[in-house]
Structure 1
């Protein structure tokens, strides 16, 4: 700023000089800021900040974030965990019981099925025993020859595959559980009750006795 005489009243006043360093844009006609700080004007060699009313946006104050609400305390996990463990143990015991019952049921069904199959096979073979007796008598008399011999051998083989086992031979010790004694005599040639003659052979199917052997027994003197 400089001192000068006022031409109107002769008083000495201080003249205010405003220096605007902005340049006019030749294309848009708008002033461009050439200063280091945008929106500042020079008054008396001093810089002042631009007024928000001049068009410069005022710094907006951002609201502070509200403090996070205190989290609610979580329920105790110990009691819930113990409850879940108790339910798991109960379900495990139920599963084990059902598994054991099912295993016993399967065993019982398999056993019943096996017994039913054995009984059915035994019934069929029992009906064939008279035919096998006729084959034995024909073999003893020498009549089992020709095609009849082949049929008899095939029938005997099939019965053996089904589990039929014949027993009862001369010289076997007498067993009242397996032999049916129809004649008794004494003999000095035996030291215990012995089958000296077999009139009809006996048959078994597995552990099952289908028919006892009909024999004559000699007791020691």
Structure 2
């Protein structure tokens, strides 16, 4: 029965003991549980499950193509480039080919010149001997099958195989580029300057003039 003398006592007992405190059995504001959430209410976003990234594995993945590049791959790429060259590579190929062709021509020309130079240095040592053979032949010392004539023939044959050729004979037209005139002799028998006598035979080694022929020149004369 209510206390008639203090009617407010019951009302005070029914109020919470502390202002703002939850009633007995009711969860506090901070103690809300997920199962107590209202259906359809927005839930806080859950953190996504992110697997840790292995830096070393990533680096290895980046280098897979390079690590897997084989010699066959390089050869195949080279074959494709040869089969279908780009305009830039085609221009480079033409330039390199032209440079190589020029190099070969220069090398071959230099080789021939160097060979003639070395051979010429050797043959020049034999020219005085050839001069002696020429004078002996003019005096008739190389006639017949004498031993001297045989040796002379072998020596001349050997130097000819080296590329040595002689020039300068009586009756040849006089050419100042290959003949050296040591004397001029007027003659009514010629109509142009002509070799009348040869003092020294001239020699060519290939296309190189080793020595000009020293000759007596017959010049036309009215008398």
Q: TM-score range by the shorter chain?
A: 0.5 to 0.7
Does residue 136 of structure 1 match 2:139?
Answer: no
Aligned residue for 1:177, secondary structure, equals coil
Structure 2: any 5+ residue segments left out of the alignment?
1-80
Residue in structure 2 matched with residue 151 of structure 1 by the alignment: 151
Scaled by the length of structure 1, the TM-score of the pair is 0.58
Q: Shift in Å at residue 89 of structure 1?
A: 1.4
Aligned CA-pair RMSD: 1.9
Residue in structure 2 matched with residue 93 of structure 1 by the alignment: 91
Q: Shift in Å at residue 215 of structure 1?
A: 0.6
Larger radius of gyration: 1
Number of matched residues?
Answer: 137
Residue in structure 2 matched with residue 192 of structure 1 by the alignment: 192
Q: Shift in Å at residue 142 of structure 1?
A: 2.4
Higher relative contact order (CA 8 A, sep 6+): 2
Aligned residue for 1:196, secondary structure, equals strand
Alpha-carbon distance between aligned partners in 2 of 1:126 and 1:216, rounded to the nearest angstrom: 23
Match of 1:114 among 112, 134, 140: 112
Q: Shift in Å at residue 148 of structure 1?
A: 2.2
Q: Shift in Å at residue 197 of structure 1?
A: 0.8
Alpha-carbon distance between aligned partners in 2 of 1:200 and 1:139, rounded to the nearest angstrom: 13
Scaled by the length of structure 2, the TM-score of the pair is 0.58
Alpha-carbon distance between aligned partners in 1 of 2:218 and 2:189, rounded to the nearest angstrom: 9
Aligned residue for 1:186, secondary structure, equals strand
Q: Shift in Å at residue 190 of structure 1?
A: 0.9
Q: Deviations over 1:141-183 (max 9, x none)?
A: 2223632222111110011111111111111111111111101
Aligned residue for 1:176, secondary structure, equals coil
